Structure 1
Amino acid sequence: MLNSKGFDLWADDYDKSVGLSEEENRYPFAGYKKILGDIYKIIMEKSDAVVLDLGFGTGTLTTKLYKNGCTIYGQDFSSRMIELAYEKMPGAHLYQGDFSKGLAEKLKQESFDFIIATYSIHHLADAQKVVLLKDLLAHLKDGGKILIGDVAFSNRKALDQCKKEYADEWDNDEIYCVADELRTEFPNLIFEKRTFCSGILILAGENFVL
């Protein structure tokens, strides 16, 4: 697993690395642009949305939201990622921190219309994901949503099939979401499959209204 220094070193080439995998429709980034685009569309249906992005990287998605009127908050592990994101979003509220250990102190005081995590939550163990998601639900505004776009699978069989097909490239340090297993803790979780190895997981707060 990359530590914060590793992410700093990867930051400048991150977008290029993602693009190569996405364009070839290969694990791990097959469907990357579609997932970001679909999350963008969901958020933009609500005017003046307040958005928290966990593990925002270089701000690929949040920059578009920022430019279209959303108030952006973010937390990322890498100081270099934050530096690059600030160049695109000078008015955003960005904080450094390991979200596997919870939200940064200043973020704990806020609530959000949407909390998003794109290709970041796979760095957390399954038990850590559950703890984080329960905490995040408490930070949603009335009717808010958590949107997770990532390498993800509907069930364990689909994950094992992908792992077998991409055995030489599989990252054993990453722990991918399995929708059926997460539903034991979050029965209302929705999984929208996008490719053989990716999709969007949706957790809604009460009374969600666009």
Structure 2
Amino acid sequence: MLDKRGFDLWAEGYDKSVGLSDDDNTYPFAGYKKILNEINNRVLTSSANKVLDIGFGTATLTTRLYEQGCKIYGQDFSEEMIKIAQEKMPEATLYSGDFTNGLVKPLKEQKYDAIIATYSLHHLDDEQKVIFIKSLLNLLNTEGIIYIGDLAFQTRDDLESCRLDAGKYWDDEEFYFVYENLKGLLPNLKFEKYSFCSGILTIKN
């Protein structure tokens, strides 16, 4: 798992390397563009205005929402990625901070129409995911939705199959979503598969 400095160093080449994995349909980013496109479309068709992006990286997704008039808030721990994102979205409200320690106070004082997290929450183990996601539900406006696009599997068997296929490339320091393990712990959780190693999870209040 990359630390803060690792993500800072990866910032300039992040979009390219992710795109190559997606284009080749390989772990870990197979389905990446489909997931971002789908979340983008759902947020826009829901008429959401105020959007929180957790672990926004280089703002590949939120830049599109920003350009369509959404008011963007976000938190990321990579200063270099924040710089790139802020250049793309000059009026976005972006904060530096490691979300594994929680959101910064100003973000917790707001309410949002949509909260998105793409390829970021796999840095939390299952117990931490449940606690963190439940805390996000309190930040949603009425009819608000949490959209999580990430490495995710319907069952533990699906995850283990992917682990076997990935071999030496598998990252044992990341904690991927397994729907069957979380569905009883998070209210109204839904899962949609987008590739052999990814999907979208949605949660409503």
Mapping 1:147-158, distance limit 5 Å: 147-158=147-158
Q: Secondary structure at the match of 2:168?
A: coil
Residue 85 (structure 1) aligned with residue 85 (structure 2): yes
Matches within 5 A, 1:1-210: 1-47=1-47, 49-205=49-205
The CA distance in 1 between the partners of 2:146 and 2:178, in whole Å, is: 16
- Consecutive unaligned residues of structure 1, counting only runs of 5 or more, are 206-210
Normalising by structure 2, we get a TM-score of 0.98
Contact 2:187 2:203 in 1 (8 A): no
Q: Is the 8 A contact 1:35 1:194 kept in 2?
A: yes
Amino acid at match of 2:199: G
Across the two proteins, how many residue pairs are aligned to each other? 205
Query: Does the 8 Å contact 1:183/1:189 carry over to 2?
Result: yes
Identity of aligned residues (%): 56
Runs of 4+ residues over 3 Å off in structure 1:
none
Partner in structure 2 of residue 208 of structure 1: none
Q: Please report how far the alpha carbon of residue 187 of structure 1 lies from its aligned counterpart in structure 2 after TM superposition.
A: 4.3
Say what the alpha-carbon RMSD is for the aligned residues: 0.8
CA contact (8 A) 1:48 1:71 kept: no
Equivalent-residue separation in structure 2 for 1:47 and 1:37 (angstroms) = 16
For 1:30, give the aligned amino acid: A
Alignment check: 8 A CA contact 1:52 1:72 kept: yes
Report the 3-state secondary structure (helix = DSSP H, G, I; strand = E; otherwise coil) of the residue aligned with 1:41.
helix
The DSSP-based 3-state class of the residue aligned with 1:116 is strand
SS at match of 1:36: helix
